[in-house]
Chain A
Amino acid sequence: AQTVTQSQPEMSVQEAETVTLSCTYDTSESDYYLFWYKQPPSRQMILVIRQEAYKQQNATENRFSVNFQKAAKSFSLKISDSQLGDAAMYFCATYYNTDKLIFGTGTRLQVFP
């Protein structure tokens, strides 16, 4: 079965600093997507970034970038120049059997001024 593991239940970072959230996964698929979602206290789940496994280049979206290590099945999220609005729960996710999105347990990120 597909699994997604986030080993950091909580992380904290100072405003303007950089933080990296870890994610490892296990899959038998040859081609798949990986996602990071953010869920602020308002509770709406927001897509942060997407990585296609067949692409070697790491995805980047403004201050958010990933370090995708396919062989190691690792998919970490780097947030640069952290802002107070980045405080949220972050979930790593990937698909199982094409249509079932599997989430990790989440990392709660706190941002301090």
Chain B
Amino acid sequence: DTEVTQTPKHLVMGMTNKKSLKCEQHMGHRAMYWYKQKAKKPPELMFVYSYEKLSINESVPSRFSPECPNSSLLNLHLHALQPEDSALYLCASSQDAGNEQYFGPGTRLTVT
């Protein structure tokens, strides 16, 4: 089983809202990732968690706040987003840092 699940599939939020994206994997992977992807572009890395600790923050604005409650779950908390934050948000996991990553289906976020 190489499944990574993400909820919700679609999210529309206003600039004053607070929402969260959720990612889950049950493959025993120890590294989890958040990416942002704009149309026709490659994914851009946002955060990396390794063994439930944040190991990389790619200078992401503080309106994005990641959380790793346990080894299977990864959340991305959103607050006071801007319209330019509208994108596909992808979650991925890997056995360990440096191994192949398995991606979830993504959350299509629209900020109005």
Chain A contacts to B: CB under 8 angstroms:
33, 35, 37, 42-47, 50, 89, 91, 95, 98-101, 103-106
- Nearest 8 CB-CB pairings of A with B: A103-B42, A99-B97, A45-B103, A44-B105, A98-B98, A50-B100, A99-B48, A98-B97
A104-B103 in contact (CB<8A): no
Please state if A104 and B97 are interface contacts (CB–CB under 8 Å).
Answer: no
Q: Which residues of B contact A100 (CB under 8 A)?
A: 45, 48, 56
A-B contact count (CB 8 A): 49
Contact assessment for B100 and A47 in the assembled complex, using a CB-CB cutoff below 8 Å = yes
Q: Is the CB of A33 within 8 A of B43?
A: no
- Give every chain A residue within 8 A of B75 (Cβ-Cβ): none
A43-B88, A45-B43, A104-B42 known; A99 and B98 CB under 8 Å? Answer: yes
Determine if B64 is an interface residue (Cβ-Cβ < 8 Å). no
Residue in chain A with minimal CB distance to B103? A45
Partner of B90, one of A45, A50, A95, A104: A45
Asked if B71 CB lies within 8 Å of chain A CBs, one says no
Chain B residue at minimal CB-CB distance from A37: B103
Q: Is A33's CB under 8 angstroms from B99's CB?
A: yes
Q: Is residue B66 within 8 Å, beta carbon to beta carbon, of the partner chain?
A: no
